[in-house]
């Protein structure tokens, strides 16, 4: 199918399309990973966004389902340079075209992705429309103007209508910990990491209620990754007040959106990056070890916490070495810490998996202090 891409700055591209006959609007972000397109497309953090892959070929290994991070595709659509006609991998169960068609999503390819990436790098993430049913530029301009921008919506509420997982049992024999997860769009890889460390997991989903914790009686609280602007979620829910009531009672750990909400709940500012961090090769310096070490991390976010006005309460644990933005923090007095990257690393690398062990240690220490009190 012939397809068209129109950006909010007026740039217009023509290409080819696979997948479902449809039109899609969203914020376009680019991902520089050379592998892992299945994990990226099924990551709930990409809800409301169109993913532009910089890798030359996408779809060559098909879709195998075991590598998916959720039950469906959350990215609105994808843009890439080339898509092979056939998937060639022994694990493949579907081609990318079949997967997209089943998900009622589409891809546009055979266009200048290098120019697109340069444009986003210079101008910041741009809103756009992809269509393989309407290739008239004037018609697409009108539709783009009239479309409601999903990036301004509470995308977590949209996500909550799609996933119905309630709990996940520990995978290492007898359970050791109960963990309550505030689910803003959690990835399967995170659940697997916690489960492999002996955690029984109960998900608390939107609309969030602190009363749900009473029935769980957890050893720790996890605030998950997710999509959208944390300030919008905070404005439309009581989540920040609920978190304040939780912090003194339980050990807490947050990743990405969860990290940003922890910062917001203590009064930190949230800044939006120009083009975001979306890749699996981001260097992060950790101050948790002596000597300090550098980890290569998987990242997917457009927003970062500005820790300056809460430095009396938090200390920096990780810094992003490309732009010196905050990549991790720990409360000085309460059992709270969080990171702005994905230690579960789906797709890799696995340098930061030890971050989950810190959460286990935090729960152990808290439990001992509580028993000795």
Task: Answer yes or no: 125 catalytic.
Answer: no
Task: Select which of 39, 69, 76, 344 is catalytic.
Answer: 344
Distances in whole angstroms, Cα of residue 364 to Cα of each of 94, 178, 361, 368: 44, 12, 5, 6
CA distance 162 to 317: 34
Q: Is the peptide bond before 347 cis (omega within 30 degrees of 0)?
A: yes
Q: Name every residue whose Cβ is closer than 8 Å to that of residue 116 and which is 6 or more positions away in sequence.
A: 13, 28, 30, 52, 79
Task: Answer yes or no: 277 catalytic.
Answer: no
Task: Select which of 80, 125, 199, 256 is catalytic.
Answer: 256
CA 234 to chain CA centroid, nearest Å: 17
Nearest to 275 by CA among 54, 105, 102, 97: 54
On whether the CB atoms of residues 304 and 294 are closer than 8 A, the answer is no
Q: What is the DSSP string of 167-235?
A: EE--SSSS--EEEEEEEES--HHHHHHHHHTTEEEEEEESSP-TTHHHHH--SEEEEEEE-S-HHHHHH
Residues with catalytic function: 256, 342, 344
């Amino acid at each position: 199918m012939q397809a068209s891409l129109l950006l909010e700055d007026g740039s217009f591209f023509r290409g080819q399309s696979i997948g479902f006959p449809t039109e899609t609007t969203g914020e376009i972000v680019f991902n520089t990973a050379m592998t892992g397109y299945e994990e990226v497309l099924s990551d709930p953090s990409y809800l409301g966004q169109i993913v532009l892959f910089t890798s030359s070929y996408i779809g060559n290994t098909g879709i195998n389902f075991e590598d998916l991070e959720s039950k469906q595709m959350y990215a609105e659509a994808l843009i890439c340079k080339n898509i092979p006609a056939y998937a060639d991998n022994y694990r493949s169960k579907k081609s990318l075209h079949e997967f997209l068609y089943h998900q009622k999503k589409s891809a546009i390819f055979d266009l200048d992705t290098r120019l697109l990436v340069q444009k986003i790098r210079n101008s910041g993430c741009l809103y756009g429309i992809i269509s393989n049913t309407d290739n008239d530029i004037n018609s697409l301009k009108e539709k783009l103007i009239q479309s409601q921008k999903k990036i301004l919506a509470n995308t977590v509420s949209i996500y909550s209508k799609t996933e119905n997982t309630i709990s996940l049992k520990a995978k290492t024999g007898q359970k050791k910990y109960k963990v309550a997860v505030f689910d803003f769009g959690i990835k399967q890889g995170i659940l697997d990491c916690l489960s492999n460390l002996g955690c029984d997991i109960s998900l608390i989903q939107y609309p969030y209620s602190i009363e749900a914790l009473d029935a769980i009686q957890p050893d720790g609280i996890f605030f998950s990754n997710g999509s959208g602007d944390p300030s919008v979620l905070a404005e439309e829910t009581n989540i920040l007040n609920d978190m304040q009531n939780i912090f003194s009672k339980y050990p807490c750990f947050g990743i990405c959106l969860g990290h940003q909400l922890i910062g917001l709940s203590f009064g930190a500012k949230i800044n939006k990056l120009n083009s975001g961090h979306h890749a699996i090769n981001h260097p992060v310096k950790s101050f948790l070890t002596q000597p300090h070490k550098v980890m290569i991390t998987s990242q997917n976010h457009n927003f970062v916490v500005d820790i300056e006005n809460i430095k009396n309460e938090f200390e920096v644990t990780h810094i992003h070495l490309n732009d010196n933005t905050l990549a991790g923090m720990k409360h000085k007095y309460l059992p709270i810490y969080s990171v702005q990257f994905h230690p579960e690393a789906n797709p890799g690398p696995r340098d930061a998996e030890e971050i989950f062990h810190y959460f286990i240690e935090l729960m152990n220490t808290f439990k001992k202090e509580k028993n000795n009190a």
